[in-house]
Amino acid sequence: MLKKCDCYVESVECRVSSICADIKQKRTLPSVSELSAEHIIHKFAVMCADKNLYIGVDLGGTNAKAGVITLEGELVCRKDLPITDLEENAVAERLVECIREALKSCNHTLSEVACIGVGSPGGIRDGLVTSAANFPLWKDVPLAQMIKDRCEGVTTILANDADAAIAAEVWVGAVKKHGARNMAMWTLGTGVGFGVVIEGAVVKGYSGLIEGGHAIVVPDGDLCGCSQKGCIEMYVSASNVARIAKEAARKPGAKSCLPVGDFGSYEVFQAAAKGDEVANAAIDQAADKLGMMSVNVSRFLDVELIVFAGGMTKAGDILLEKIQTAFDKYTWTKLPNNAKLVYAEVGEDSGVIGAGAMAKLHVTGEI
């Protein structure tokens, strides 16, 4: 961690000596960006000026959210605005409007902001959104620079939204609470996200394509949108739990109180709570696969913590209990089980707080 220095020269020495210590300890070389003069000057400016806020921006397909966050990770205020025009400049304008209104609502200004973090869906590289399913016309959009230009030159960084959600748990959520350095996180929403933190660092993989939601659990199983068959997402995402319940409820002779028309995972959990067998079977098969795959995650990575996040966890403790039961059924008994299975702690603000955490990571070098 950087110490606050009195002068520019000392701050550079401080940074250089901390990098040397890192090299000795980890036996790895720092990245070029870490050593760049601009970066050192930026760190110095943040340390010496009275910049004690981060901004976290969560860009969704239909909504923009911006939050003002303290250096300790407390969300001071938040502003949400709908996204109606998908054109890149219009989206950038909307995000900036969100940032300005959030700051205004708690009487702060951009001059107090150390860094703006933007969490975006899709592929992210060097401040560019390379592509995003929600914004089909976007190709290599320099979103970080576009926001920086509209925000008085405040340093702006871009992060993948899944990484941001993990960063939120590291900063103020489950990872912090349990003091874990090694964790994996399943995000159970419309799709299934998966992320890994090892020794406090988010693991990126070779091309940023760690996609645990597309790990295969059923050989030659249901065809997934990714072109593989039997991906875990096809059995445990919110939409697929609802699909599996629907298919079972419509079978001749099925006894179920599930509605005849369309419904989502929320209705499945409601019906299960009333003892509906079809609903319970749909949830049980999902929990079973998540428990089994979490055993595999433990065997591959030996993490201390496996976190479950996303809309499905709103179902309450029943889902986590079923996953734990499955984990216990599949896991070994002759060696220690180190992984604790828990729900995420940050909740619906995780996108905003996580983007703020990525801003903190940029400025301080750690979360």
Q: How far is the CB of 233 from Zn ion (least distance, A)?
A: 6
Q: Are 357 and 171 in contact (CB under 8 A)?
A: yes
Binding residue for Zn ion, selected from 65, 94, 214, 362, defined by CB under 5 A: 214
User: Starting from the edge strand earliest in sequence, which strands make up the sheet with 156-160, in order?
Assistant: 75-82, 63-70, 53-59, 113-120, 156-160
Question: Is beta strand 63-70 parallel, antiparallel or unpaired with respect to 53-59?
Answer: antiparallel
- Which of these, 104, 6, 8, 118, lies nearest to 54 by C-alpha position? 118
Query: Which residue number, 231 or 323, has a Cβ lying nearer to Zn ion?
Result: 231
How many residues bind Zn ion (CB under 5 A)? The answer is: 5
Of the CA atoms within 13 Å of residue 89, those in its CB half-sphere come to 0
Q: Is the sign of the CA dihedral 344, 347, 351, 357 positive or negative? A: negative
Q: How far is the CB of 10 from Zn ion (least distance, A)?
A: 52
AA identity, residue 76: V
| Stretch of 24-32, 163-171, 179-187, 231-239 lying at the interface with Zn ion (CB under 5 A) | 231-239
- Residues of span 20-79 touching Zn ion by CB under 5 A: none
Joined tokens for residue 55: 């901004």
Q: Is 344 helix (H, G, I), strand (E, B) or coil?
A: coil
Binding residue for Zn ion, selected from 224, 245, 278, 286, defined by CB under 5 A: 224
**Exposed, middle or buried: residue 219 (CB in 10 Å: 0-12, 13-18, 19+)?**
exposed
Q: How far is the CB of 360 from Zn ion (least distance, A)?
A: 33
Q: Which residues, including other chains, have CB under 8 Å from residue 83's CB and lie 6 or more apart?
A: 59, 60, 61, 62, 63, 64, 91, 94
DSSP code at position 29:
P
| Stretch of 168-176, 227-235, 310-318, 356-364 lying at the interface with Zn ion (CB under 5 A) | 227-235
Joined tokens for residue 301: 């990575």
- Which of these, 88, 84, 77, 90, lies nearest to 63 by C-alpha position? 84
| Stretch of 34-42, 194-202, 217-225, 261-269 lying at the interface with Zn ion (CB under 5 A) | 217-225
| Stretch of 121-129, 211-219, 292-300, 350-358 lying at the interface with Zn ion (CB under 5 A) | 211-219
Query: Which residue number, 21 or 223, has a Cβ lying nearer to Zn ion?
Result: 223
Q: How far is the CB of 55 from Zn ion (least distance, A)?
A: 34
| Stretch of 2-10, 171-179, 197-205, 207-215 lying at the interface with Zn ion (CB under 5 A) | 207-215
Residue 99 binds Zn ion (CB under 5 A): no
The most distant pair of C-alpha atoms in the chain lies apart, rounded to whole Å, by 79
Ramachandran angles phi, psi of 259, nearest 5°: -60, 155
Q: How far is the CB of 231 from Zn ion (least distance, A)?
A: 3
Q: How far apart (Å, rounded) are the C-alpha atoms in residues 144 and 153?
A: 11
Binding residue for Zn ion, selected from 96, 98, 168, 231, defined by CB under 5 A: 231
| Stretch of 145-153, 222-230, 235-243, 357-365 lying at the interface with Zn ion (CB under 5 A) | 222-230
Q: How far is the CB of 226 from Zn ion (least distance, A)?
A: 3
Binding residue for Zn ion, selected from 134, 190, 228, 331, defined by CB under 5 A: 228
Residue 226 binds Zn ion (CB under 5 A): yes
Encoded one letter per residue, x for contact with Zn ion by CB under 5 A and - for no contact, window 244-283 reads: ----------------------------------------
Query: Which residue number, 297 or 358, has a Cβ lying nearer to Zn ion?
Result: 297
C-alpha dist (Å) from residue 19 to 43, 100, 252: 14, 35, 67
Query: Which residue number, 21 or 226, has a Cβ lying nearer to Zn ion?
Result: 226
The residues of the shown chain that bind Zn ion, judged by CB under 5 A, are 214, 224, 226, 228, 231
